[in-house]
């Protein structure tokens, strides 16, 4: 990308309205004990977005700072979004909606778990209205129907996509990449690869665009799917990146890489690999992942190290996107 194009894109990015709801910068920590436990290899770091704060932390806060700013500008009095029963996105949306004085309607699919998932309890404590559907495929249609129903009732609803993963929400991770670049400059770090969970696409798209604006071009981004096939996620991420480019007036051309060989039995189900990764990080570093999302991404990073894909002179960053509340029920 030409420096002038990059400069104009960064200026446009900085002009996009956002709320400041999280606690930043989130820390970057070295995982020396984990590195020793796997027998050496590359140095391992972790970006602690489980410390963003609201809604018990996680990457969704960054996205919602942009999406909710737009909703408020449009005069919305209610937000509608969707997810599974243990959705981090839905929990954070419900808590931030309560903080901002907005109504909140959540379209959830799930088995009706007992005891109740902690995220679902939090959403209800925050006053969110829960709408149930039988499957993931039914969520979008029910949200659209709710928009029509609320408008007829005199409300002004704003619909937020799954994970707040559209071009606007992804700006949250363009900002996160700029935050990381500033930390790297201060500490003198370089990262050869960044590993993270990639599903609804917004985090991955924001990092991909942010890499071209703020990070060395050699930085590899490796998204690990916790649920869907790699081709589907790559397509979604590519579409969001194109939307980011349109908003910022540039074309992003970096590779979109997704691995789907750590999904295990499927969405929301832990695998033997994710369980081992979860337990190893907890035992060596006292850090909790969630069992079905970030733990699968950590399994992908550890597998790459075990296969000797990186040398001892290289640095890997694991981006912890939160989700530990999925461990708990009430």
pLDDT attached to residue 23: 97
Averaged pLDDT, 54-81: 97
Quote the tokens at residue 166.
């559209």
Alpha-carbon span 234 to 47, nearest angstrom: 23
What pLDDT digit, counting tens, does each position of 81-123 carry? 999 998 999 999 999 999 999 999 999 998 788 889 999 999 9
| pLDDT over 80 at 227, yes or no | yes
What pLDDT digit, counting tens, does each position of 181-223 carry? 999 999 999 999 999 999 999 999 999 999 999 999 899 999 9
pTM to 2 decimal places:
0.96
pLDDT attached to residue 267: 82
Quote the tokens at residue 257.
């890489």
Averaged pLDDT, 154-182: 97
Region label for 286, one of left (φ > 0), alpha (ψ between -120 and 50) or beta (otherwise)? left
What pLDDT digit, counting tens, does each position of 262-271 carry? 999 988 889 9
**In percent, how much of the chain has pLDDT > 90?**
94
Alpha-carbon span 229 to 214, nearest angstrom: 29
| pLDDT over 90 at 3, yes or no | no
pLDDT attached to residue 108: 96
For 115, what's the count of Cα atoms within 13 Å in the CB-facing half-sphere? 8
What pLDDT digit, counting tens, does each position of 7-42 carry? 999 999 999 999 999 999 999 999 999 999 999 999
User: Which element (helix H / strand E) includes 3?
Assistant: helix 3-14
pLDDT band at 78 (very low <50, low <70, confident <90, very high): very high
Task: Set out the domains of the chain in order of their start, with CATH numbers.
Answer: 3-57+167-327 (3.40.50.1100), 60-164 (3.40.50.1100)
Closest CA to 88 of 53, 58, 126: 58
| pLDDT over 90 at 240, yes or no | yes
- Is the model more confident about 175 or about 266? 175
Catalytic residue positions, numbered: 87
Quote the tokens at residue 28.
């970057």
**In percent, how much of the chain has pLDDT > 70?**
100
User: Which element (helix H / strand E) includes 251?
Assistant: none
């Amino acid at each position: 990308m030409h420096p002038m194009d990059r400069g104009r894109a960064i200026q446009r990015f900085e002009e996009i309205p956002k709320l400041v709801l999280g606690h930043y910068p989130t820390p970057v920590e070295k995982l020396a004990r984990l590195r020793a436990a796997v027998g050496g290899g590359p140095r391992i770091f972790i970006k602690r977005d489980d410390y963003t704060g609201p809604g018990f932390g996680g990457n969704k806060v960054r996205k919602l700072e942009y999406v909710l700013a737009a909703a408020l500008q449009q005069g919305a009095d209610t937000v509608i979004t969707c997810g599974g029963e243990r959705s981090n996105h839905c929990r954070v949306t419900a808590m931030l909606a309560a903080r901002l004085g907005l109504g909140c309607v959540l379209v959830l699919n799930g088995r009706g778990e007992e005891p109740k998932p902690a995220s679902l309890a939090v959403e209800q404590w925050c006053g969110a209205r829960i709408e149930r559907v039988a499957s993931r495929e039914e969520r979008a249609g029910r949200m659209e129907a709710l928009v029509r129903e609320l408008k007829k009732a005199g409300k002004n609803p704003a619909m937020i996509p799954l994970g707040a993963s559209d071009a606007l929400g992804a700006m949250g991770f363009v900002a996160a990449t700029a935050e990381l670049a500033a930390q790297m400059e201060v500490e003198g770090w370089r990262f050869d690869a960044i590993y993270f969970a990639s599903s609804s696409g917004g985090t991955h798209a924001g990092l991909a665009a942010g890499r071209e604006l703020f990070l060395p071009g050699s930085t590899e981004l490796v998204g690990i799917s916790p649920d869907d096939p790699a081709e589907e996620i790559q397509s979604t991420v590519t579409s969001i990146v194109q939307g980011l480019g349109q908003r910022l007036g540039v074309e992003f051309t970096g590779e979109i890489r997704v691995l789907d060989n750590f999904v295990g039995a499927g969405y929301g189900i832990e695998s033997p690999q994710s369980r081992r990764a979860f337990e190893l990080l907890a035992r060596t570093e006292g850090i909790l992942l969630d069992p079905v999302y970030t733990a699968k991404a950590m399994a992908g990073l550890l597998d790459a190290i075990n296969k000797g894909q990186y040398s001892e002179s290289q640095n890997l960053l694991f981006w912890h996107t939160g989700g530990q509340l999925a461990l708990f029920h009430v």
